[in-house]
């Protein structure tokens, strides 16, 4: 029975590999493999841009190199033994000399792995403590309360009281301390190139410390299955330079301003839509309407929503067209999104999108 199925399997394999579809599929497989080698990996933990990711990458290489060396020694010794001691032509059938092991060798190959494991254990626990090290008091620290919500991230800056969503702005070379919690289920914050990964758990606050050392934009993802739109719960970290027009301080200044007043007729109509169609029961626009209390379904602060590069946790690029698409039917973009579909008319959606996009 077993013979028969393996025979069928090998027949099938031979047929498949000599068929035309294989000739077609093989280059595709090779292309996919080569594609994996391209240099564009926005979530590459082995290309660190912050100290948290750097520690993880360091451990990856330590274990990778050590394990490769050990693997080579073990497989090498095994290969030599197989070649040297296997039965050769002309050998007689008598048994080789029988003995009872070798005490010295056995002690050696027990003690060496034990020592390796102890040393790795000590170093690894050291790394875990380093990742969890509270930043020293004297230095500048950007402290942000992070709330995971189905399916987006709320960022509340402790010093400046800025509240924003999904795009976390920090500064090159400056320590960051996130305090992670959740408004509903367990989420996990992870920007692979910069920080370690940490759960955001309801009713608790867990810190995540890191220091980015490269300017630029780094994407991340909620890393804990959290419901229907878990896959659309992205994060973008924007690391600003210390000086210049694009500096972190300038970003803070811009965000501290009240919302811009509408200038065109369309934007004015859009502001009216925001004020009259129920949007303000879930969203704050400072200077227009501020929520006094937040709930699980309360949405992002929209005071400067036009300055974001994406909306709905990276589900859409931020522009007027996409804003209109989102407000008309959030669930068509993001399954089960917790924003009510208010059945806006096309005209109202267009107007409110124009107004929101002007809030730079
Ligand atoms: C029941 C509460 C609720 C109401 C009412 C509501 N929203 Fe929302 N809104 C949300 C939630 C929650 C999100 C986040 C959804 C997500 O990303 O998963 C959101 C997201 C948004 C976003 C994306 C913001 C960003 O930075 O990602 C915009 C823009 C927006 N809402 C505009 C509106 C407008 C305009 C109205 C009125 C027509 C409105 N909302 C009504 C809860 C609400
Ligand atoms: Cu999540």
pLDDT, mean of residues 300-315: 98
Q: Is the pLDDT of residue 39 over 70?
A: no
Mean pLDDT of 248-261: 97
Angstrom distance (rounded) from CA 269 to CA 13: 66
Ligand 1 mean position, distance from CA 251 (Å)? 23
User: What's the 231 CA to ligand 2 centre distance in angstroms?
Assistant: 8
Residues 6 or more apart whose CB falls under 8 angstroms from that of 144 comprise: 155, 156, 157, 158, 168, 176, 177, 178, 179
pTM of this prediction?
Answer: 0.86
Alpha carbon distance 153, 190 (integer Å) = 12
Contacts of residue 133, defined as CB under 8 A and 6 or more positions apart, other chains included, come to 209
Q: How many Å apart are CA 180 and CA 207, to the nearest integer?
A: 6
Residue 18 or 186, more confident: 186
The helix/strand/coil state of 212 is strand
- Spatial neighbors of 349 by CB under 8 A, at least 6 apart, are 324, 325, 327, 328
Greatest CA separation for the chain: 102
pLDDT tens digits for range 185-207: 999 999 999 998 999 999 999 99
- Give the per-residue pLDDT at 101: 86
- Residue 355 pLDDT > 70: yes
Q: Among all chains, which residue has been given the structure tokens 């999108």?
A: 353
Q: What is the 283 CA–ligand 2 centroid distance (Å)? A: 20
Q: In angstroms, rounded to a whole number, what is the distance separating the alpha carbons of residues 255 and 358?
A: 14
Q: Which residues line ligand 1 (CB under 6 A)?
A: 151-152, 165-166, 274, 277-279, 281-283, 297, 299-300, 302, 305, 308, 311-313, 323, 326-327, 334, 337-340, 342, 344, 352, 356
What's the rounded mean pLDDT across residues 268-289? 96
- 151: cis peptide before it, omega within 30°? yes
Ligand nearest to the CA of 230: 2
Q: What integer best gives the mean pLDDT of the chain?
A: 92
Q: What is the DSSP letter of 277?
A: S
Long-range contacts of 32-41 (CB under 8 A, 24+ apart): none
Report pLDDT for 1.
Answer: 47
Cα(199) to ligand 2 centroid in Å equals 9
Query: What is the reported pLDDT for 29?
Result: 75
Pocket test for ligand 1, best of 152, 299, 307, 333 (most atoms within 8 A of CB): 299
pLDDT value for 196: 86
Q: What is the mean pLDDT of residues 11-30?
A: 64
Query: What pLDDT is recorded for position 40?
Result: 78
Domains and CATH numbers, the chain: 41-72+105-256 (2.60.40.420), 265-358 (2.60.40.420)
- Residue 8: the pLDDT is 66
SS (H, E, C) 39-61: CCCCCCCCCCCEHHHHHHHHHHH
Q: Which two tokens stand for residue 55?
A: 């520690």
């Amino acid at each position: 029975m077993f013979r028969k199925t393996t025979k069928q399997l090998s027949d099938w394999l031979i047929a498949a590999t000599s068929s035309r579809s294989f000739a077609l599929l093989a280059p595709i497989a090779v292309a996919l493999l080569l594609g994996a080698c391209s240099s564009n990996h926005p979530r590459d933990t082995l290309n660190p841009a912050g100290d948290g990711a750097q520690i993880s990458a360091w451990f990856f290489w330590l274990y990778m190199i050590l394990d490769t060396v050990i693997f080579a020694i073990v497989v090498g010794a095994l290969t030599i033994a197989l070649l040297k001691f296997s039965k050769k032509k002309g050998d007689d059938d008598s048994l080789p000399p029988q003995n009872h092991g070798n005490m010295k060798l056995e002690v050696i190959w027990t003690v060496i792995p034990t020592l390796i494991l102890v040393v790795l254990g000590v170093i690894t626990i050291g790394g875990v403590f380093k990742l969890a090290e509270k930043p020293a008091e004297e230095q500048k620290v950007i402290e942000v309360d992070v709330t995971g919500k189905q399916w987006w991230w709320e960022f509340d800056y402790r010093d400046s009281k800025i509240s924003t969503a999904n795009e976390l702005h920090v500064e090159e070379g400056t320590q960051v301390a996130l305090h992670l919690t959740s408004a509903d289920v367990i989420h996990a914050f992870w920007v692979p190139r910069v920080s370690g990964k940490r759960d955001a758990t309801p009713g608790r606050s867990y810190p995540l410390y890191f220091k980015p050392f490269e300017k630029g934009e780094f994407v991340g993802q909620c890393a804990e299955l959290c419901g229907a739109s878990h896959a659309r719960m992205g994060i973008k970290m924007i690391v600003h330079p210390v000086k210049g027009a694009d500096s972190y301080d300038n970003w803070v200044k811009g965000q501290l301003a009240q919302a811009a007043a509408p200038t065109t007729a369309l934007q004015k109509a859009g502001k009216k839509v925001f004020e009259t169609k129920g949007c303000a029961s879930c969203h704050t626009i400072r200077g227009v309407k501020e929520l006094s209390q937040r709930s699980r379904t309360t949405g992002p602060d929209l005071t400067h929503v036009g300055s974001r590069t994406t909306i709905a946790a990276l589900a859409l690029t931020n522009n007027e067209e996409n804003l209109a698409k989102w407000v008309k039917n959030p669930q068509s973009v993001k399954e089960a999104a917790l924003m009510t579909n208010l059945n806006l008319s096309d005209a109202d959606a267009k107007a409110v999108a124009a107004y929101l996009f002007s809030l730079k």
